Structure 1
Amino acid sequence: MNSIKKILSVSVLSTTLLLTGCMTTDNSVELDNAISSNHRSAANKARDEFRHPKQTLEFFGFQPDMTVVELTPGGGWYTEILAPALKGSGNLYGAHYPDTGEDNYYSNSRKSLVKMLASNPIYSEVVLTDFVPKKESELAPKGTADLVLTFRNLHNWGEEGMQQMFKDAYTALKSGGVLGVVEHRMPASQSWKENMKSGYVPEALVIDYAKAAGFKLAASSDINANPKDTADHPRGVWTLPPSLALKEQDKEKYLAIGESDRMTLKFVK
């Protein structure tokens, strides 16, 4: 009898592991297909080396049937991956600056994003919402999001904007939902007040603001870390690729450093 129980137990365990492996593979395939798809330009694919999209999204717990909010998608680098990976099974909200009709960065950025989304049916299910820094914004219907993501945005919003974003994200997320943050990391040895315009943000400050909004820090990762980046460049983070703000001046030096050192933080509601 004991032998039969052991055989049954092993059989059940093997089946569970097999099913788990299949689910993991399926999710991995969704991301692999999106990342390798021909709709992504060669230039964008070249940045995978520094942005590690698959590892980053898996760290945040991405699943293809989730409701996901991407904050200020900008040129749509991550949208190119998220939209096809979620299409047909999940939902993607792009919470972006509104088009006020003015000729400024915010309105023009929204226009460019709208144009990009209209360029390919792969983006047909993306829903745009409005995100206004420093003002309360409905990123998605309250309590519906499984995952809110922000990639290299916090430095644009100032302290007040960061604080409001964390509140907005908390409102949009379900209980147990995840906020994933990737941001240029300012070394603890540098003064935040003296270097606010450098494009780098202190990790401790981000964690404090997230906790103040009600989040718990679930995990951090060095997926996007770059120990070569000293974060003390003449034009701030924009000195490094891909911006290369100094153009040909010391270009090889900054190419050798690569893209910025980045914190990767997973918060839970």
Structure 2
Amino acid sequence: MSFKSLVAVVGMSLAAAGCAVAPAGEDAALKQAIASPARTPAFAARDAARKPYEVLHFFELRPDATVVEISPGAGYWTEILAPYLKPRGTYYAAQYPQDGGGRAYYQEYYRNFRAKLDANPALYDRVRVTAFGKGRYDIAPPGSADIVLTFRNLHNWMNDGYAEEVLAAFYRALKPGGILGIEAHRGRTDRPQDPRAADGYVRQDYAIRLAQQAGFVFVGSSEALANPRDTKDHPAGVWTLPPTFRLGDKDRERYAAIGEADGFLLKFRKP
């Protein structure tokens, strides 16, 4: 059997098993979604820091995938994922519940996100919104997702004490062979991990162990979001840096020069 034939057979076998197969080469449709003039200008302005193409390509996004995004917030990734997946795939936005889970600002997130979708049905009429929060983990039907993605959320679940429950929910939602992609602010290795991640930073080795304890197999990491200028000892934690600038104008130029926080990308697979 030739090498080309062997690759084809392996690819068909993985697809039949429900595995997410890494896209080969350049993804023109993804680049088109990222370059869309329909995106919010303030979101597009952050692309140099957030590197959406590199991130999503690393997480093996493909146009026919069933993808769950956890806590999409104001919709930075929604504006890319929803139109990209609309023709052939499925996009679940696991947003804060409509009742906010007892938190008024979560309710506001839900209302604003819902309004965003309703305002542009041409792009968002196929988005499936599910409820996600403490004790609310029905993010997608069990065993239905090819990819679950979470961007800069892990520290929040650690702070609220339910990170293990969240990872178990991701495991349930994924197909065997499915991908879990985690982006987080990378903590310092010369300090023990605060279990509550109060400064917003999470040690990479700590995050890997959390996912492995939930049953995931670690596949690899990416340095696409590495920022060696981030010393990770800021007075207001990660929120000192852009885009939050929690200290206001105090030392703003210095923090702007550092840029967005040092980040890691971790990829896991459900056996």
Question: When the two structures are superposed, what TM-score results if normalisation uses the length of structure 1?
Answer: 0.88
Q: List 4+ stretches of structure 1 deviating above 2 A.
A: 190-196
State the match for 2:80 in structure 1. Answer: 81
The offset of 1:42, in angstroms, is: 2.0
Following TM superposition, by how much is the alpha carbon of 1:149 offset from its aligned partner in structure 2, in angstroms? 0.1
Q: Determine if the alignment matches structure 1 residue 222 to structure 2 residue 233.
A: no
User: Percent identity between the aligned chains?
Assistant: 44
* Shift, 1:77, TM fit: 0.4
Deviation (angstroms), 1:104 = 0.6
* Larger helix fraction of residues: 1
Q: Which moved more, 1:171-180 or 1:191-200?
A: 191-200
The corresponding residue for 1:57 is 56
For 2:234 and 2:198, locate their aligned partners in 1 and report how far apart those are by CA, in whole Å: 12
1 CA distance for matches of 2:132 and 2:197?
22
Question: Is the Cα contact below 8 Å between 2:152 and 2:183 reproduced in 1?
Answer: yes
Aligned residue runs from structure 1 range 2-151, under 5 A? 24=24, 28-100=27-99, 104-120=104-120, 121-133=122-134, 135=135, 137-151=137-151
Q: Which has the larger radius of gyration?
A: 1
Determine helix, strand or coil for the equivalent of 2:37.
coil
Runs of 5+ consecutive residues of structure 2 not aligned to the other structure: 9-22
**2:186 counterpart residue number:** 185
Secondary structure of 1:196 counterpart = coil
CA contact (8 A) 2:70 2:94 kept: yes
Aligned-residue CA RMSD (Å): 2.0
CA distance in 2, matches of 1:100, 1:184: 28
Query: Are the counterparts in 2 of residues 136 and 164 from structure 1 also a CA contact under 8 Å?
Result: no
Q: Counterparts of 2:178 and 2:234 in 1: how far apart (Å)?
A: 36
Q: In 2, Cα distance between the equivalents of 1:193 and 1:211?
A: 19
Give the count of matched residue pairs. Answer: 250
User: For the Cα contact (< 8 Å) 2:65–2:89, is it kept in 1?
Assistant: yes
* Alignment correspondent of 1:3: none
Say whether residues 1:171 and 2:169 are aligned partners. Answer: no
Q: Where does residue 198 of structure 2 map in the other structure?
A: 197
In structure 1, distance between residues paired with 2:31 and 2:96: 29
The correspondence of residues 232-243 of structure 1 with structure 2, limited to 5 A, is 232-243=233-244
SS, match of residue 198 in structure 2:
helix
1:248-263 aligned within 5 A: 248-263=249-264
How far 1:35 sits from its partner (Å)? 0.5
Give the conservation status (yes or no) of the 8 Å contact 1:136–1:168.
no
Contact 2:143–2:173 (Cα < 8 Å) also in 1: yes
Distance 1:256 1:195 in 2: 28
TM superposition shift of 1:37: 0.5
CA offsets 1:39-89 (integer angstroms, 9 cap, x no match): 112211111111110011000100011000000000100000000110110
Counterpart secondary structure, 2:224: coil
CA distance, structure 2, for counterparts of residue 226 and residue 164 of structure 1 = 30
**Structure 1 CA distance for aligned equivalents of residues 151 and 103 of structure 2:** 25
**Partner of 1:211 in structure 2?**
212
